[in-house]
Chains A and B, each alone.
Chain A
Amino acid sequence: MSLRFQRLILIIITLVFFCSAVLLILFNTQKNIVFFYTPSELIKNDKNLLEKKVRIGGYVKKNSFLQKPLNNYQFKITDNISELLVFYEGILPDLFKEGQGTVVEGVLNNKKIIIASKVYAKHDENYMPASIKKELEKNNQWKKDYK
């Protein structure tokens, strides 16, 4: 093999890697992305989100938390305009509390019920995803007392 030919192969290999990486990225951004909503945005949304994985950010509504046999939980997540019912099985994070901010990831069962696979709580008192916080501030719901 001549030197030039070998270099050509090297360049081709590089291009192949690069293209496959780009394809992988494109394919995965289609598939592996989870949309992030506040409860009212989700309810307003016209798209059919049933059976799709979504993330919801909001507060745990006060007096809505129920513990069914041991590690089965049920609570409402709210942005003070709309609310969703959440069912979850597993261990809740340490900082999960009524009235505190939380992010729930799961599948919509019907328009107002979500079966959660993951529940995140903020790591400290002030944690709330910046984007969700903005949305809440816009609606004057940030740092209000939730009932």
Chain B
Amino acid sequence: MISLIGFFALCFSTIFSFTLLIPVSIFKINIKYFILIFRLSTFLVCISFISLIFAYVSSDFTNFNVFQNSHSDKPLIYKITGAWGNHEGSILLWICMISLYGFFYSLISKSANEFKILVLKFQSALFIIFALFIILTSNPFLVNSVFVEEGLGLNPILQDPALAIHPPMLYLGYVGFSLVFSLAIASLFRNNLDQDWINEARTWSMISWGFLTAGIALGSYWAYYELGWGGWWFWDPVENISLMPWIAGLALVHSLLMIRGEQAIEKWIVFLAILCFSLSILGTFLVRSGILTSVHSFASDASRGLFILLIFFLTTGFGFLIFLIKTPSKKDDLHLLLINKTSALIINNILMMITVFTILLGTIYPIIIEVLTNKRISVGGPYFNSTVLPILLPGFLLMSIAPVLSWKTNQIKKFRIYVICFLILSLIVSLQSYFTSFNTWGFIGLILGSWIIIASIISIMIRHRFSFTIKYITSINSFIAHIGVGVMIIGVTFSSIYQKEYNFNIEVGDKVSLENEILKFNDMQIIEEKNYQSLKANISIKKKNGNIIYIKPGKNYYPVSKMITTEAGIYHDWFKDIYITLGSENNNIWFIRVLINPLVSFIWLGVIIMVFSSAIAVIKK
């Protein structure tokens, strides 16, 4: 019953969106009614999504999708999140967001009515394409053909709080670019690349980028503590394709913030807006079609892949075609000097585009090779580490000084202070690395990260008088964002280079010593939870200062799916994480792996700072 309501709501919502596409010349419609119909369609698609959630919560196994992905034993929260933990539900969430972005745009936007209608039309067109995709190939409201009393259950490794909110966050990011895409195309249609739409695009792309950042970070945090490998980024294809729209979005956000009415940059922004959304769809296609070999598994089905490929070519092709035909060709001069802000922006954008291209190439290279030579290869971490990082290095250097560059001249205010500080910093870091173990990447990362932070702080001190107002925070916002990046670079460098690994075979009651700590294996416990059984090792670590901390790595057994998951035990400290995974057992001797990950918390801190500053940038008007 509830599935039926959901399905009809979805269909009607699609039909309403169709009526919006009819050209105004044939079907005269008042702006008020136009927006009303759009909102009605949004309302209906939300009803549709809510009824899917309701079917999950009430464990309605007459719905095939619920039967496949849920189980009545699951805790309520994972019943709800199970609604988007699968392909069909997640695409429903996707179109729900396309519509909601349009809805909020219609609420907030102060543009002229014609422009507003045009944007909403493109938004509805995108909505219809994806809604058709759902109705034709991945309907979450299918009826289960056999009568069952119990569902198959959700993959246990997905039953996790971070992963529950990870997909909505990520989708809010991906889908947000759909609105930016619509804005860009609408502005091309109006032959009007004026400041108005730039302001709107700035707000919406900032929002999307913020959500995308948070979404990627959540996924990465989940991989860190749930998969038990001890790392947080694996250059897996699925991760790469979320990184591409993120970097393109970063370029877009920077261009939007830096534009001062230059036509050339406006064109570039339109291009980036189209690119961002295209990369988002490409990502979805590559993940959903199962073309890519990834250790993350997703529902994969060739017909779906083909359909998404079609959508991809349709939207991207349409977008770039309009871009080529409609771009105004008025020429004006860019104020390019050797080291002014505009040139810094251009170099930064070029670097980001090269990075996107490198990642894209590495990700689809296996497919190309297989098609051409029928050989299978895999491109892993080493390729990306040794291409992407060197390409980004000059960008990071540029980043530390870019905000203080001037618009029209070649001079930097108080240049000398920066030079002196940089020299002192490199001296300190050199000494530090001379007396500890030297590592080239560690040295570079530390110098870059701390230089970005210090340069930003100097700039804040020189250029802005401190006060406790929001105005102060918004004016130093770009520096705050860059400090976040600096903090993250330090975290990334340290956690990946100075990670230490210890392996022990250990019995209950045994003590072993790490570098400064004494580790003791106290006992094993078995705990019965609602839908799983958990085996936990109780390990205490006595720190140098006498404090004792407890870490409980373990394994969970999920009877429904007959799966065992490893639960890493992590002790978070500001300066290091102690990360323990439990291995196998033989004659009461357990194998444990202890990783000391220095400064991992800096990565998450850096991300939080970046998301915070993107929120500030949205508020700033």
Contacts and interface: CB of A to CB of B under 8 A. Distances in A.
B563 A95 contact: yes
A97 B394 CA distance: 46
A69 B590 CA distance: 11
Given A18-B350, A32-B379, A71 B566 contact: no
Nearest to B336: A7
Contacts of A25: 358, 361, 387
Interface in A17-74: 17-18, 20-21, 24-25, 28-29, 31-37, 55, 67, 69-71
B331 interface: no
A28 B387 contact: yes
Contact of A34 (B297, B378, B581): B378
Contacts of A18: 350, 354
Contact of B228 (A13, A24, A91, A103): A91
Given A13-B347, A29-B365, A123 B157 contact: yes
Given A9-B338, A10-B347, A55-B378, A32 B386 contact: yes
A92 interface: yes
B4 interface: no
Contacts of B376: 35-37, 131-132
Interface stretch (B44-52, B134-142, B273-281, B288-296): B288-296
Question: Among the interface residues B343, B378, B503, which one has the most CB atoms of the partner chain A within 10 A?
Answer: B378
Nearest to B340: A6
Contacts of A28: 382-383, 386-387
B591 A10 contact: no
Nearest to B337: A6
Contacts of A67: 584, 586
B336 A17 contact: no
Contact of A1 (B155, B338, B351, B366): B338
A129 B295 CA distance: 8
A127 B383 contact: no
Contacts of A81: none
Contacts of A129: 293
A7 B350 CA distance: 15
Contacts of A36: 293, 366, 376-378
Contacts of B228: 91, 94
A130 B293 contact: yes
A32 B394 CA distance: 23
Interface string A124-139: 1011011110000000
B390 interface: yes
A124 B378 contact: no
A34 B376 CA distance: 9
Given A18-B350, A35-B376, A130 B297 contact: no
Contacts of A122: 295, 297
B505 interface: yes
A120 interface: yes
A123 B377 contact: no
Contacts of B387: 21, 24-25, 28
A29 B155 CA distance: 35
Contact of A17 (B370, B394, B589): B394
B375 interface: yes
Contact of A91 (B377, B581, B586): B581
B518 interface: no
Contacts of B357: 21
Contacts of A37: 376
Contacts of A91: 228, 566, 581, 583-584, 591, 593
Contacts of A24: 358, 386-387, 390-391
Interface in B449-485: none
Given A10-B338, A24-B390, A95-B563, A32 B382 contact: yes
B338 A6 contact: yes
A120 B295 contact: yes
A131 B293 contact: yes
Interface string B549-562: 00000010000000
Contacts of B555: 94
Interface residues of B, number: 54
Contacts of B589: 70
Contacts of A14: 346-347, 350
B261 interface: no
Contacts of B564: 94-95
Question: Among the interface residues B380, B564, B581, which one has the most CB atoms of the partner chain A within 10 A?
Answer: B380
Given A18-B354, A21-B358, A94 B584 contact: no
Question: Among the interface residues B296, B376, B564, B565, which one has the most CB atoms of the partner chain A within 10 A?
Answer: B376
A71 B583 CA distance: 8
A101 to B, nearest CB: 11
A32 B346 CA distance: 31
Nearest to A127: B297
Contact of A70 (B297, B391, B505): B505
B300 interface: yes
A124 B69 CA distance: 12
Nearest to A41: B376
Contacts of A124: 155, 297
Contacts of A13: 347
Question: Among the interface residues B350, B505, B565, which one has the most CB atoms of the partner chain A within 10 A?
Answer: B350
Contacts of A35: 375-378
A32 B377 contact: no
B386 A94 contact: no
Contacts of A130: 290-293, 300
B350 A17 contact: yes
A13 B387 CA distance: 18
Interface in B143-158: 155, 157
A9 B375 CA distance: 43
Given A13-B347, A29-B379, A34-B377, 11 more contacts: A17-B391, A25-B387, A28-B383, A32-B383, A32-B386, A35-B377, A36-B376, A69-B586, A70-B584, A95-B564, A123-B157
- 4 smallest CB-CB distances across A and B, nearest first, come from A36-B376, A127-B297, A32-B383, A129-B293
Interface of B: 155, 157, 228, 290-293, 295-297, 300, 336-338, 343, 346-347, 350-351, 354, 357-358, 361, 365-366, 370, 375-380, 382-383, 386-387, 390-391, 394, 410, 503, 505, 555, 563-566, 581, 583-584, 586, 589, 591, 593
11 contacts: A10-B347, A17-B394, A21-B387, A21-B391, A24-B391, A28-B383, A70-B584, A71-B505, A94-B555, A124-B155, A127-B297
